[in-house]
Amino acid sequence: MTTKARRTFKDDIDHCVDESLRNARFRSAPSAFASEKLIVYIKPCNCDIAQYLMFRDSRATGGDIIVDLWLAPIQIPDDRINVLGIGIKVNLFSGYDVDDEIMSCIVKKALAASEELNKLLDFAISDLRSPFIQNQRTGIYRKALMLEHVALAEPQFIAQISEVVNDFGHGRIDYDQAVSVCELILVAKGENWPEDLMAIPVSQKARLLTEISIARKLAS
């Protein structure tokens, strides 16, 4: 006699996410940035802003299932979005007991909220350009954008970074390996950087550039 496997949180989400979410251009984040307790769907808005639909299961630590929808700058789809604090977050649901019917209703609510958030795109862009809330993460994110800007100005350089991102996307390397390869590319490039970026260690440059490049690829 075979034992039927217990359905996981991801199974529950996948079971209730119908074509309507996909038709609205939401795509699931790859497993490298999702987990058994965090499932994320991404919808690009423009080259700088995306919507992130995040299903989080905190019941193992005494919390609830929490579903949030962010209109936020392009970012790795995890807690970095919340820490950055730019844009708008809508809490769609928080509760311990969730069945398929409730989850299906949450998805419908997410779609309706997504349409309303589209109307606030100009606000999110303004918040990105001049953040209302300044913290350590906003400074780090701005440096990442500056690094990306330098990379985009050098076709050969950005081609090398793009190859790293593609290798990561196809599962040929993991995130830490992607950062390591990016660091080697930066070392070969040398120290021809704008003054604002010269003081950043090459290892941090590699992590920031890898992060923003992968985040943009996910939201493209």
Task: State residue 5's pLDDT score.
Answer: 54
Task: State residue 2's pLDDT score.
Answer: 45
SS3 95: strand
pTM of the predicted structure, to 2 decimals: 0.88
Per residue in 58-95, pLDDT (tens digit) is 888 888 989 999 999 999 888 889 899 899 999 999 98
Closest by Cα among 104, 115, 103 to 25: 115
Q: What is the mean pLDDT of the chain?
A: 86
pLDDT at 6 over 70: no
Distance (Å, whole) CA 143 – CA 20: 37
> 41-47, long-range: CB within 8 Å, 24+ apart, which pairs?
41/17, 42/77, 42/218, 42/219, 43/114, 44/219, 44/220, 45/71, 45/118, 45/121, 45/124, 46/121, 46/125, 47/74, 47/216
**Domain extents in the chain:** 9-129, 136-218
What are the percentages of helix, strand and coil residues in the chain, rounded to 5?
55, 15, 30
Per residue in 145-180, pLDDT (tens digit) is 988 888 878 888 888 888 988 888 888 888 889 999
Q: Which of 27-31, 50-54, 75-79, 80-84 has the lowest mean pLDDT?
A: 27-31
